[in-house]
Amino acid sequence: MKIRKRRFARAVTLIEVMAAIAILVISSTGALSYQYFAAKDAQKARAQVIATRIGLLLLEDWKSTGGSKEYNPQTLGLGFSSPLPIPSHFSQGQGVGNGAPLHDAVHDITVDGIPMMVMLTWVDVAQDAVSGVILRQLNIEVQFGSTWQDETIKKQYEGLKPVILTTYVRIDGAGG
């Protein structure tokens, strides 16, 4: 007499299904976190580029006036605020040659939804008494945030160092 053994059809067990789901969850979480951090870094890089362009624009425009102590970025008509008192959290004089802030103020501007504060400083670094020529150092410091310090914006651009730009202009004895 022959005994027939029944063979059961092989199926996927619950443990195999759970292991496959765990692997999919771990790999998709890794991919999503990579994408999230890449997007955040791209946003911060974009903000740095915008701040640098704002600083260069102001530096070149101020330089074109001969480094005038009366320069006001508001006259450009690009959305700079009128001079505002320097906030206590603003890094006064750090890395900008310890020059005198122009009008003892900062200017707010928002570009593409990114609020920034700009401080312009100047210092006369050399003078030739014979020719009456003065060499003036012009500095622009652009910080992220605003004088009103919105907490969500503050967190969004937290850790970004301010953009500091410097140039020199020659002021002739003939009046600039």
Q: What's the confidence (pLDDT) of residue 83?
A: 84
Q: What's the confidence (pLDDT) of residue 85?
A: 82
In a domain, residue 3? The reply is no
* Residue appearing with tokens 């450009």: 76
- Residue 46 domain boundaries: 14-171
In a domain, residue 136? The reply is yes
In a domain, residue 93? The reply is yes
Question: What span, in angstroms and rounded, lies between the C-alpha atoms of 122 and 63?
Answer: 11
Q: What's the confidence (pLDDT) of residue 91?
A: 57
In a domain, residue 4? The reply is no
118 bridge partner residues: 107, 142
The pLDDT tens digits along the chain (176 residues) read 677 776 666 767 888 889 999 999 999 998 889 899 998 889 889 999 999 999 999 999 999 888 888 888 988 888 888 888 887 766 554 444 567 787 788 888 888 888 888 999 889 888 888 888 889 899 999 988 776 556 676 677 777 888 999 999 988 754 44
Q: What's the confidence (pLDDT) of residue 150?
A: 63
Question: What span, in angstroms and rounded, lies between the C-alpha atoms of 62 and 138?
Answer: 8
Q: What's the confidence (pLDDT) of residue 155?
A: 73
* Residue appearing with tokens 């504060």: 117
- Write the DSSP symbol of residue 60: H
**The token pair that represents 149 in the structure block:** 């310090």
121 bridge partner residues: 101, 139
**Contact predicate 47/114, CB 8 Å:** yes
The total domain count for the chain is: 1
Burial tier of 145 (Cβ tally within 10 Å: 0-12, 13-18, 19+): buried
Phi, psi dihedral angles at 121 (to 5 degrees) = -130, 160
In a domain, residue 34? The reply is yes
**The token pair that represents 99 in the structure block:** 């020059």
In a domain, residue 98? The reply is yes
163 bridge partner residues: 142
